[in-house]
Amino acid sequence: MRLRIIAVGTRQPDWVDAATQEYLRRLRAPWRCELVEIDAATRGTRGAEDAVRREGERVLAALRDRERVVLLDETGKALSTRELATRLDALSGGSPDLALLIGGPDGHAPAVRARAAESWSLSRLTLPHGLARVLLAEQLYRAQTVLLGHPYHRD
């Protein structure tokens, strides 16, 4: 299964980039994951709504037709690690390409929400976008270890 984390924002602290890449590096075949960064729109006199719309256009342009789109959002479905593993396992059988979307500072555009097949929550807390990247990458790795029976995850 090919996974792509598509995240709005290109300037993250070094620790975010290092941690995200470390967890993505740990993923094993048949899963492959890459991080695609989308430029955040400037928030000027037009306001956040216009910026969200422009970010949404960039995200939609980055999506591939065959990708199943999962929106990551605090209002999405909360999954335990084991539930995430089960869901990813089910998706890997019928949908070989998965795009996981992390929005910008003001969230996802309505057009992006409309394109999503489902929405997951990493937490009910509002997370900094860099931390959301690290958390998602770690949970992908953890979900894979659960499916492989590796002792990394402990209940």
Give the predicted TM-score (pTM) of the model: 0.92
Helices (H), 27-148: 48-62, 81-94, 110-115, 129-148
Decide: 27 and 140 in contact? Cβ < 8 Å: yes
Give CA–CA dist 66/86, Å, rounded: 21
Both structure tokens of 63: 């999506």
Could you give the domains of the chain? 2-148 (3.40.1280.10)
pLDDT in tens, the chain (155 residues): 899 999 999 999 999 999 999 999 999 988 899 999 999 998 877 778 999 999 999 999 999 999 999 999 989 999 999 999 999 999 988 767 999 999 998 999 999 999 999 999 999 888 888 999 999 999 999 999 999 997 776 67
Measured on CA atoms in the order 145, 148, 154, 155, is the torsion positive or negative? positive
Cα–Cα distances in angstroms (integers) from residue 17 to residues 9, 82, 87, 130, in the given order: 12, 26, 26, 8
